[in-house]
Amino acid sequence: MVDIATRVYNHKWKIDPIVRSLIDTDFYKLLMCQSVFRNKPDTTVTFSLINRTTRIPLANLIDEGELREQLDHIRTLRLTRGESTWLRGNTFYGKRQMFRPDFMEWFEALQLPPYHLERVGDQYELTFEGKWPEVMLWEIPALAVLMELRSRATLAHMGRFELQVLYARAMTKLWEKVERLQRIDGLRIADFGTRRRHSFLWQDWCVQAMNEGLGNAFAGTSNCLIAKNLDLEAIGTNAHELPMVYAALAETDEALSRAPYDVLSDWHEEHSGNLRIILPDTYGTEGFLSRAPDWLTQWTGIRIDSGDPARGAEVAIRWWQSRGEDPREKLVIFSDGLDVDKMAALHAQFSGRVRVSFGWGTLLTNDFRGLVADDALAPFSLVCKAVAANGRPTVKLSDNPEKAMGPEAEIARYKRVFGVGEQERVEVVV
Amino acid sequence: MVDIATRVYNHKWKIDPIVRSLIDTDFYKLLMCQSVFRNKPDTTVTFSLINRTTRIPLANLIDEGELREQLDHIRTLRLTRGESTWLRGNTFYGKRQMFRPDFMEWFEALQLPPYHLERVGDQYELTFEGKWPEVMLWEIPALAVLMELRSRATLAHMGRFELQVLYARAMTKLWEKVERLQRIDGLRIADFGTRRRHSFLWQDWCVQAMNEGLGNAFAGTSNCLIAKNLDLEAIGTNAHELPMVYAALAETDEALSRAPYDVLSDWHEEHSGNLRIILPDTYGTEGFLSRAPDWLTQWTGIRIDSGDPARGAEVAIRWWQSRGEDPREKLVIFSDGLDVDKMAALHAQFSGRVRVSFGWGTLLTNDFRGLVADDALAPFSLVCKAVAANGRPTVKLSDNPEKAMGPEAEIARYKRVFGVGEQERVEVVV
């Protein structure tokens, strides 16, 4: 087992690059990438880093040279033979050859496209422009690099024992969460914490701790590299970028209103079973569900990723009931801003009424809150989103106006097209 | 830095002997050994293990074969060239050549004498008989072996992450103590925790944590091996075994009453300055001080090792005052059952009135209380004492009848000779 504190103290960053592999990314990115590679390979998309926690002056904390070095390092990565073998030969969600040969050939030859980095005030403007299947693979490594460089900036000033005790405290804190999770009967939980992890080594430790502590209740990790190394299930389905880009490409309001369903129609052709998970909140959950075609009611579940999660789950349950489905056979995956208390409450409220599952992210892999002075290691809300497709801006509304993004006029248009009215504001912590 | 949890998990005990060196012992043992080597070399002394915490069934917890293996290993140890060089060349308490050439030659040739081990009920009877200077060096390693084998017995059943989190919690616990100690202005503290340590690796970690956390407030460690390895001060003066053996050898009541002063008279000839520390409680502090010869009032300080420590310090202060000494120039060393609260209170009460110093033992190097089920790693009260000298039983009264030892008739005789009346009982935890 790696002694993280000693490794950090020695801070041989050169031999500890932040992103070590093209599959040090979320599994759903690869699933979506394959889908995009088939359905929209020539779309030009721009991804952009957005620090929602503006009080954290990333450009003051992180040296631009070091940031470039890490990003450049990622551009040197190629899929290794072992990684390719794993993707081609492993079983994902019970299915062999999840990744088609044409996609794997393309992936084996892939180098991530160039990035554009500029300092603007106290923040970095970091954008990636290119063919959608290539450029989308920047999102997770870019976030992981920024998050970990910010951790390293704080850790660099700490002594050897301070570091040992810092990690001892973080381990104790996580293990106490694991012990509390052990007491939730019928729990089902996966690691979704790659993008905003404290560091790679720390995520790796957290996943091992969850695996040892929770046994079968631990469903796996969204991180492909860690899943491969530890022989765990790789977990994940699809994300907002699909409807956001499909919507941006829509030429008319009518096409726009259909775009979210077009996404799932393409997905429907490719995937079955537990991979058929609806992410309904991109342009408002209630409108999305009420207008959804009947074939969507057959899908396995719904992922709740914004707004009040209990409210979202109740909406989902009512929707299934209204369409003659039995919610007890359906899966609700909670994945937004979770911690143990919230999971325990949601599990108590919904267990038995639906199948409940959790995708635990930032507060699994980056809960260093309260562990150093000025809370300089507390996680914050950094995202990397598709902001344009073929030159047209993307829009996200979500079930929480705090998470909305896009040009104001476009937001207004989308609200009109999707019939989104007043929304409840929920503070975004992570 | 050693990753203790991983080392423990791998439990390659064969390559991790508990006692790795003849100087993995308390510094005062070597000082006393040199004194005994000069003044009483031919005395035959018996040391015996005494488990005061009888509810801990050592013989059920610890395999006899493993115990023999560890003890046999200690008998294979010889002073190494580097250790000899360090003892001969290093400065101790500001003095060069603390150890005389004749003593060093003897020590370099030393092999520890045989041991006698027998299982009696749930406990082990472990005794060492031989020439005093040889046999006395068994005390500390014998205790360290029993303590660590008991730890290992519990650790052997634990999983990899349980161990990581156990040590993470223990580290956090100790560091929180260090942080509280940092706030005590003018603190002076040393590690006295060799004999009842959780393990060698753990003591080593604790000493490093104290050193990094407390800086100059950390005076050093009683453990010679750790002092040598980490380039710290080796700390310690003398212990009860000197007056206990001198007293046992006394032929008459009159000689008996003089014995404790004879010990210090021999010590007075050998040592000066901060090594002149009175340990007054062997046969009752108050009587010892009231009958003490005037030259003892010149000594640097008093070590309080039993009874209520605040009361002991007040007695010492009054004694110095009654003999015309300024207590503010005197040193009081507290060394009995200390933890942070007690040290903070004693420091607050006596700082400014005397020079205060702490010898922190078991709750520095073995505070695993509350960290595993059934508190199976909580420290307990194990001692190894000189029980006979030249065939005559030894007696210890101390300032706490819970710590008294010896045959009943002899205890009564000693109480009469030393005028010890009613004593306050204080629970002995460690």
Distance from the B280 Cα atom to the nearest Cα atom in chain A, whole angstroms? 38
Q: With helix as H, strand as E and coil as C, how does chain B read?
A: CCCHHHHHHHCCHHHCCCCCCCCCCEHHHHHHHHHHHHHCCCCEEEEEEEECCCCCCHHHHCCHHHHHHHHHHHHHCCCCHHHHHHHHHCEECCEECCCCHHHHHHHHCCCCCCEEEEEECCEEEEEEEEEHHHHHHHHHHHHHHHHHHHHHHHHCCCCHHHHHHHHHHHHHHHHHHHHHHHCCCCCCEEECCCCCCCCHHHHHHHHHHHHHHHHHHEEEECEHHHHHHHCCCECCCCCCHHHHHHHHHCCCHHHHHHHHHHHHHHHHHHCCHHHCEECCCCCCHHHHHHCCCHHHHHCCEEEECCCCHHHHHHHHHHHHHHCCCCHHHCEEEECCCCCHHHHHHHHHHHECCEEEEEEECHHHHCCCCCCCHHHCCCCCCEEEEEEEECCEECCECCCCHHHCECCHHHHHHHHHHCCCCCCCCCCCCC
Inform me whether the pLDDT recorded for A179 exceeds 90.
yes
* Mean pLDDT score across all residues of chain B: 95
Inform me whether the pLDDT recorded for B11 exceeds 80.
no
Chain A CB contacts of B7 under 8 Å are none
- Residue scoring higher pLDDT (B3 or B374): B374
Report the residue of chain B nearest A213, measured CA to CA: B161
**Which amino acid, A345?**
A
Inform me whether the pLDDT recorded for A11 exceeds 70.
no
Q: In the structure, what pLDDT confidence band is assigned to residue B13 with cuts at 50, 70 and 90?
A: low
Mean pLDDT (whole number) for A168-176: 94
Q: What ipTM was predicted for this assembly?
A: 0.76
- DSSP label at A26? B
Contact B198, B232 (CB under 8 A): no
B375 touches chain A (CB under 8 A): no
Q: What is the pLDDT of residue A156?
A: 87
Q: What is the pLDDT of residue B15?
A: 60
Mean pLDDT (whole number) for A159-179: 92
Chain B CB contacts of A172 under 8 Å are 165, 168-169, 172
Report the residue of chain A nearest B169, measured CA to CA: A172
Residues B260-296 have pLDDT tens digits of 999 999 999 999 999 999 999 999 999 999 999 999 9
Residues B125-172 have pLDDT tens digits of 999 999 999 999 999 999 999 999 999 999 988 888 889 899 999 999
A165 touches chain B (CB under 8 A): yes
**B211 φ/ψ angles, rounded to the nearest 5 degrees:** -65, -45
Q: What is the pLDDT of residue A109?
A: 97
Q: What is the pLDDT of residue B173?
A: 95
Inform me whether the pLDDT recorded for B1 exceeds 80.
no
Chain B CB contacts of A9 under 8 Å are 1
Q: What is the pLDDT of residue B125?
A: 97
Q: In the structure, what pLDDT confidence band is assigned to residue A150 with cuts at 50, 70 and 90?
A: very high
Residues B307-362 have pLDDT tens digits of 999 999 999 999 999 999 999 999 999 999 999 999 999 999 999 999 999 999 99
Determine whether the interchain pair A1/B213 forms a contact, defined as Cβ–Cβ distance below 8 Å. Answer: no
Mean pLDDT (whole number) for A104-122: 97
* Mean pLDDT score across all residues of chain A: 95
Inform me whether the pLDDT recorded for B14 exceeds 90.
no
Chain B CB contacts of A1 under 8 Å are 3, 5-6, 9, 160, 164
Mean pLDDT (whole number) for B39-53: 97
Chain B CB contacts of A213 under 8 Å are 161
Chain A CB contacts of B202 under 8 Å are none
Q: What is the pLDDT of residue A427?
A: 83
- DSSP label at A114? P
Chain A CB contacts of B212 under 8 Å are 159-162
Nearest-10 Cα torsion for A330, A335, A337, A341? 50
Q: Two tokens at B334?
A: 């507290």
Residues B361-372 have pLDDT tens digits of 999 999 999 999
Report the residue of chain B nearest A170, measured CA to CA: B168
Instruction: State the Cα–Cα distance between residues B327 and B325, nearest whole angstrom.
Output: 6
Residues A268-308 have pLDDT tens digits of 999 999 999 999 999 999 999 999 999 999 999 999 999 99
Determine whether the interchain pair B208/A161 forms a contact, defined as Cβ–Cβ distance below 8 Å. Answer: yes
Choose among A9, A160, A168: nearest Cβ to B172.
A168
Instruction: State the Cα–Cα distance between residues B45 and B245, nearest whole angstrom.
Output: 8
Choose among B5, B167, B212: nearest Cβ to A159.
B212
Nearest to B35 by CA among B264, B220, B258: B264
Q: What is the pTM of this model?
A: 0.85
Residues A390-423 have pLDDT tens digits of 999 999 999 999 889 999 999 999 999 999 988 8
Distance from the B224 Cα atom to the nearest Cα atom in chain A, whole angstroms? 22
Choose among A3, A6, A160: nearest Cβ to B212.
A160
Determine whether the interchain pair B1/A164 forms a contact, defined as Cβ–Cβ distance below 8 Å. Answer: yes
Which of A2, A6, A172 should we substitute to test contact with B (largest number of B Cβ atoms within 10 Å)? A172
Which of A161, A175, A177, A207 should we substitute to test contact with B (largest number of B Cβ atoms within 10 Å)? A161
Determine whether the interchain pair B159/A6 forms a contact, defined as Cβ–Cβ distance below 8 Å. Answer: no
Report the residue of chain A nearest B10, measured CA to CA: A1
Interface of B with A in 46-85 (CB under 8 A): none
DSSP output for A337-393: S--HHHHHHHHHHHBTTBEEEEEE-HHHH---TTSSGGGTT----EEEEEEEETTEE
How many CB pairs below 8 Å do chains A and B form together?
Answer: 57
Nearest to A127 by CA among A22, A44, A50: A50
B338: CB partners within 8 A, 6+ apart: B358, B359, B360, B361, B363
Distance from the A337 Cα atom to the nearest Cα atom in chain B, whole angstroms? 25
Chain B CB contacts of A6 under 8 Å are 1, 3
Q: With helix as H, strand as E and coil as C, how does A167-218 read?
A: HHHHHHHHHHHHHHHHCCCCCCEEECCCCCCCCHHHHHHHHHHHHHHHHHHE
B157 touches chain A (CB under 8 A): no
Strand-pair category, A95-96 with B355-360: unpaired
Q: What is the pLDDT of residue A428?
A: 79
Q: What is the pLDDT of residue A12?
A: 56
Q: What is the pLDDT of residue B12?
A: 57
Chain A CB contacts of B161 under 8 Å are 175, 208-209, 212-213
Instruction: State the Cα–Cα distance between residues A335 and A333, nearest whole angstrom.
Output: 6
Report the residue of chain B nearest A7, measured CA to CA: B1
Interface of B with A in 203-242 (CB under 8 A): 208-209, 212-213
Q: What is the pLDDT of residue A271?
A: 93
Choose among B160, B168, B172: nearest Cβ to A212.
B160
Q: What is the pLDDT of residue B203?
A: 97
Contact A146, A62 (CB under 8 A): yes
Choose among A9, A165, A171: nearest Cβ to B175.
A165
Distance from the B211 Cα atom to the nearest Cα atom in chain A, whole angstroms? 10
- Judged by DSSP in three states, A242 sits in helix
Determine whether the interchain pair A169/B167 forms a contact, defined as Cβ–Cβ distance below 8 Å. Answer: no
Q: Determine how many CB atoms are found less than 10 A away from the CB of residue B383.
A: 19
Q: In the structure, what pLDDT confidence band is assigned to residue B87 with cuts at 50, 70 and 90?
A: very high
Instruction: State the Cα–Cα distance between residues B359 and B344, nearest whole angstrom.
Output: 13
Choose among B161, B168, B209: nearest Cβ to A208.
B161
Contact A300, A279 (CB under 8 A): no
Choose among B9, B159, B172: nearest Cβ to A172.
B172
Inform me whether the pLDDT recorded for A226 exceeds 80.
yes
Residues A59-94 have pLDDT tens digits of 999 999 999 999 999 999 999 999 999 999 999 999
Choose among A164, A165, A209: nearest Cβ to B161.
A209
A3 touches chain B (CB under 8 A): yes
Choose among B161, B168, B212: nearest Cβ to A161.
B212
Q: In the structure, what pLDDT confidence band is assigned to residue B194 with cuts at 50, 70 and 90?
A: very high
Percent of chain A topping pLDDT 70: 98
Contact A181, A340 (CB under 8 A): yes
Choose among A160, A172, A208: nearest Cβ to B1.
A160
